[in-house]
Chain A
Amino acid sequence: MSGYTGVTEQDLELMLAAIGVDSVEQLFDAIPEAVRLKGPIGLPPGEPEQAVYAELRRLAERNVCTEDELCFLGAGMYDHYVPAIVDMLMSRSEFLTPYTPYQPEVSQGGLQVMFEYQTAISELTGLPVSNASVYEGPSAVGAAAYMAKLANKRTRVIVSRGVHPDSRETLRTLAVGYGTTVDEIPLTDGLTDLDPLRAALNDDVSAVIVQQPNFLGTVEEIEALAAAAHEHGALMIVVADPLTLGVLEAPGNQGADVCVGEGQTLGNRLDFGGPSFGFFAATEKHLRSMPGRIAGETTDADGRRGFVLTLQTREQHIRRERATSNICTSQALNALGGAVYLSWLGRRGIEELGELMLQRTHYARETLSALQGVDRLHDWPVVREFALRLDVGGLDGVNRVLDRCAAAGVNAGYALGRSYAEYPDGLLVAITEQRSRADIDRFAAVLEEAVAAERAPAPAWAGA
């Protein structure tokens, strides 16, 4: 018996008698002999709580986390500070342990949080309607392209190579199912270029997908790209980083029809990639074809203000094969973390934090690109992340630089050559508010030494 179940011998006797059987095994009689498991499940015996804790702690200690090194790695998830109130509120039983709010009379807390979350996402993105969350960023991109197909029945999307590699790959995986072809357009000097987009566009195109800032950290010119998409009746889908939207214009104000993205930067931990949440916002006319839960305001029998899950006729449990998506469980608790975080950060904070990232990132780009053998990959405006070029002979050299930096306690970033053959010598560096000037200076010293060591001529005896 585990500590999680509590059938005593007396209980068992009484329960079996009530049911009218002699043993628990009899309750499994419906399972045919041929498909029965002969013998125990091939797993070790259970352990007491303290032993399990010790094992999980041992595993945790075999990971180098962002507390163990100076982390400049981003590329989709970022080491931002998570305020204590987020942890405190996310771990309250009343938010942690209920199911999806199917009974609104006893779920007003969770439903109102969804409503507040939707309001905050609408404000950030500049789009009037938001759902209550999807799984995470890349699958949100796939979901947005599916909604575009439902909206205009077209079967081709154009995606910029500035969109996160995971998002592009996820989009391809999912689009095979719903019968949409995916065409990529290249970056020019780190920016999505209007000319190749215009060349690729025609009236078969369902949507154009661009990321803001893009994977190289570059701030994209959304307005011009959206105008080109709209000329052909295609939807403009912008994949945005919500924490940069205090300083960058809202995609909704630049012509985006849909704005989706990864919510991890809003008060969610790294968790080796999840759980976090994806957000999904759109213009009013797409409200009834959006995926996922949506909280709406209403009144109760006595005229009091209240909240419910609304427009459920879009959803799988009502509409089944005609639903706008198959999503059911999403990321409500993580979205709650996002809502609390945005309340904590507040109207001024989102601008101040954005400005701080902007200034420190600029400083870091200037400082690092002044090093010998280090150059910037592009000159476009950036907010939190930027790309460098290391003159160390390509991806293998960059990887060796990363190893040298790691040995000195610095996680130097993401080797772009891992997913961009066109940038074999690229290094992507992220500067969150947790990285001070002193940290950046230390990084510069470590990087300088690592690059110099890689560039040093091999001694005469090497390779002999």
Chain B
Amino acid sequence: MSDAIPEGGATAQQRERATTIFEKGAPGRRAFVAPQLDVPRVDGLIPDRLRRAEGPRLPEATEPEIVRHYVNLSKRNFDLDSGFYPLGSCTMKHNPRLHERVAGLPGHARLHPLQDPRRAQGALELMYALQCALGEIAGLPHVSLQPSAGSHGELAGVLLTRAFHEDRGEQRHKVLTPDSAHGTNPATVTMAGYEVVKVSLDADGGVDVEDLRAKADRDTACLMLTNPSTLGIFDPNIEEIAEIVHAVGATLYYDGANLNAIMGYSRPGDMGFDIVHFNLHKTFTQPHGGGGPGAGPIAVSERIEPYLPRPQVVFTPPSNGGGPIFDLDYDRPKSIGKLRGFQGNYGVFVRTYAYIRSLGAEGLKDISEVAVLNANYLLARLRDEVGELLPLAFGERCMHEFVLSGAPMKKQLGIRTLDLAKRLLDHGMHPPTVYFPLVVDEALLIEPTETETRETLDQFVEAIAAIVREAAEDPEIARNAPYTTPVRRLDEAGAAKRPVVRQAL
């Protein structure tokens, strides 16, 4: 399997042309059967000028055709349940199936978002308990669950920063981000109306404290920081960084993408951060769904609390004949307002809550320890096997993920990081994140997560070693990989040049 190149040039799946559901079925076929019209029919309820002249050309197919179509499509996907998925910065850990079961209980799944709080006490209790738990994990007292994803949490955080400064009568214009930041950080800064100022990294991959000192001034609204960084490095100067940022009156923002590395060891609040976002779909294992849903709750310090999005879930101790115990509080005059509809991605909260209740304090610490142990073990094994060709970009060890540079491999073997990644697909593994962070040439960002066993990590090392050996003999094999996947390398440039974004009907 590992060096499989299909005989005759194509697998059975590759020989089948991809056809969309719009190309299947036949006029007149259907899956949906409408309920009987049980009221007197009245014509002309919608005037002709408002009525649809030609109906949307949706598929016409039976249920069996639809099921077969999508099941066959699903088999053209690689997924976490099938194999190793060490996609750095994405924390592709196992998704416990209990979470799907509890999220599907009708009391959760079929609860209307505008149900009277007195009749949604279970949901509000869950949200309240989750707020408290996330506050403990962050080391910050106030939590809003509302943001829909990490990037949405970031936007909330920068808008909170704006509200905080403006409430003091200050207009600030700059937000600092280190060179190693996720792309969402600078993109968020622009959407929130600030100018991005980049801070350099020092020789060890941390924030260059002198550069930060030079750039942080009274016009600085915020520093956005990921710690451990996208290089998998915990910034040892975090106290000094916090001091510099706070000394100019700016806020310190924690991008929680890498929180999986430090639970039970350190809390962003204790490091001096004012605002933290969580990626519930990473640290707290929401199935990623091929690109969402997620959730990006935020935790904040006391001074940021007045500006949190509304509504907030609040708790009122029961009194004699009193009202609801848990309620939604909209009366927040300094709030930045709503960031989305209703109360947030509740279905994600249910799964997260189940996860936190399953693991508890010790379990959360355990997963961070194993995540860091697994990453360091994988790093050590790769260093032994292919360290010359794929060296660690910074430092000696790592937290929960690490960045290798494929530059020596490219120079010595003539294959790029991209080729290595594509050849890994033939080994039945998902490649790491490639070409990110941007500060490392030919980067491979590898995050094994805690739910992988040592055997799986060893197999990954074997696969990398095999690809490198193969490339030393014949680099063309990797350059043209993959061979066994449903399709081979795709023409992305052509797709962007002449975009076809829908099925011609």
Q: Knowing that A43-B133, A166-B342, A272-B108 are A-B contacts, what are 13 other residue pairs whose CB atoms are under 8 Å apart, sorted by A's residue number?
A: A6-B453, A32-B239, A62-B125, A103-B78, A116-B20, A173-B336, A177-B159, A177-B192, A178-B191, A272-B346, A316-B151, A323-B190, A336-B289
B64 nearest CB across to chain A (Å): 10
B165-209 interface mask toward A, CB cutoff 8 Å, 1 = contact, 0 = none? 000000000000000001110111111110010000000000000
Q: How far is the CA of A352 from the CA of B279 in the complex (A)?
A: 41
Is B276 interfacial (CB-CB < 8 Å)? no
Q: How far is the CA of A138 from the CA of B22 in the complex (A)?
A: 30
Contact status B270-A273, CB under 8 Å: no
A residues 15-67 in Cβ contact with B at 8 Å? 15-16, 18-21, 24, 27-28, 30-32, 34-37, 40-49, 52-53, 55-67
Residue of B nearest to A290 (CB): B501
- Evaluate whether A108 and B486 lie within 8 angstroms (CB atoms) in the complex, with A7-B373, A316-B187 already known: yes
Q: List 16 A-B contacts (CB under 8 A).
A: A19-B377, A32-B236, A32-B238, A93-B82, A98-B288, A104-B492, A106-B430, A108-B487, A113-B290, A170-B341, A174-B155, A298-B494, A329-B292, A331-B293, A411-B112, A437-B38
Residue of B nearest to A43 (CB): B361
- What's the interface size class on A, roughly? 35 or more
- Evaluate whether A332 and B362 lie within 8 angstroms (CB atoms) in the complex, with A124-B56, A170-B338, A245-B56 already known: no
In the complex, which of the residues A35, A64, A247 contacts B51, with contact meaning CB atoms closer than 8 Å?
A: A247
- Evaluate whether A18 and B381 lie within 8 angstroms (CB atoms) in the complex, with A49-B358, A272-B343, A274-B148 already known: yes
A residues 288-310 in Cβ contact with B at 8 Å? 293-302, 304-308, 310
Residue of B nearest to A180 (CB): B193
Is B416 interfacial (CB-CB < 8 Å)? no
Q: Which residues of B contact A42 (CB under 8 A)?
A: 136, 361
Is A158 interfacial (CB-CB < 8 Å)? no
Contact status B58-A108, CB under 8 Å: no
Contact status B291-A132, CB under 8 Å: yes
A residues 336-367 in Cβ contact with B at 8 Å? 336, 340, 342-353, 356, 358-360, 362-363
Q: Which residues of A contact B63 (CB under 8 A)?
A: 85, 344
Contact status A347-B110, CB under 8 Å: no
Contact status A95-B289, CB under 8 Å: yes
Contact status B263-A326, CB under 8 Å: no
Q: Which residues of B contact A273 (CB under 8 A)?
A: 113, 341-346
In the complex, which of the residues A271, A294, A304 contacts B108, with contact meaning CB atoms closer than 8 Å?
A: A271
In the complex, which of the residues A92, A110, A298, A362 contacts B492, with contact meaning CB atoms closer than 8 Å?
A: A298
Q: Which residues of B contact A57 (CB under 8 A)?
A: 102, 105, 107
A432 nearest CB across to chain B (Å): 10
Is B320 interfacial (CB-CB < 8 Å)? no
Q: Which residues of B contact A363 (CB under 8 A)?
A: 39-40
Q: How far is the CA of A178 from the CA of B356 in the complex (A)?
A: 36
B385 nearest CB across to chain A (Å): 11
B386 nearest CB across to chain A (Å): 15
Is A385 interfacial (CB-CB < 8 Å)? no
Residue of A nearest to B371 (CB): A5
B21 nearest CB across to chain A (Å): 5
Q: How far is the CA of A71 from the CA of B53 in the complex (A)?
A: 32
B36-61 interface mask toward A, CB cutoff 8 Å, 1 = contact, 0 = none? 01111110011101111101111111
Q: Which residues of A contact B114 (CB under 8 A)?
A: 73, 75-77, 414
A74-86 interface mask toward B, CB cutoff 8 Å, 1 = contact, 0 = none? 0111010001010
Is B367 interfacial (CB-CB < 8 Å)? yes
Contact status B421-A103, CB under 8 Å: yes
Is A333 interfacial (CB-CB < 8 Å)? yes
A216 nearest CB across to chain B (Å): 15
In the complex, which of the residues A101, A170, A308, A311 contacts B290, with contact meaning CB atoms closer than 8 Å?
A: A101
- Evaluate whether A107 and B362 lie within 8 angstroms (CB atoms) in the complex, with A77-B112, A99-B85 already known: no
Q: Which residues of A contact B384 (CB under 8 A)?
A: 18
Q: Which residues of B contact A179 (CB under 8 A)?
A: 193
Q: Which residues of A contact B39 (CB under 8 A)?
A: 359-360, 362-363, 437, 440
Contact status A304-B32, CB under 8 Å: no
A87-117 interface mask toward B, CB cutoff 8 Å, 1 = contact, 0 = none? 1110111111111111111111110110110
Contact status A31-B262, CB under 8 Å: yes
- Evaluate whether A37 and B139 lie within 8 angstroms (CB atoms) in the complex, with A116-B503, A329-B151 already known: yes
